[in-house]
Amino acid sequence: MKTGNIFELMPENLDEEAFDLIVQNGQFKIERIVSKGHSSPASGWYNQKQNEWVLVLKGEAVLSIQGGAEVNLGPGSHINIPAHTKHRVKWTHPELETVWLAIHY
């Protein structure tokens, strides 16, 4: 059995986004992501084999979905991204940590 607190052990250095695996079992994975002013490269799109449900616990972010849609996310906002839906992180708040909970299934 493993316990923890999603807001503890926050990374001190956020030169790059921090990805922390919480649990993984076969095709199912839960991770915490911490961003601060990060975005995906302009030419880079995520094109994942699995569905991904994302919840912003703290901070702010904007996701771009290929085709032109943009989704603004703040505390409590969530989105379900179907497999092979091309998307990217357009913006995260540059002064506040954005804490994401991502579930890949």
Considering the segment(s) 29-104 as one domain, its CATH architecture is Sandwich (2.60)
Q: pLDDT band for position 42 (50/70/90)?
A: confident
pLDDT digits (tens, 9 = 90+) for 52-98: 999 999 999 999 999 989 999 999 999 999 999 999 999 999 999 99
Three-state SS at 11: coil
The domain ranges of the chain are: 29-104
Residue 84 backbone zone (phi > 0: left; psi -120 to 50: alpha; other: beta): left
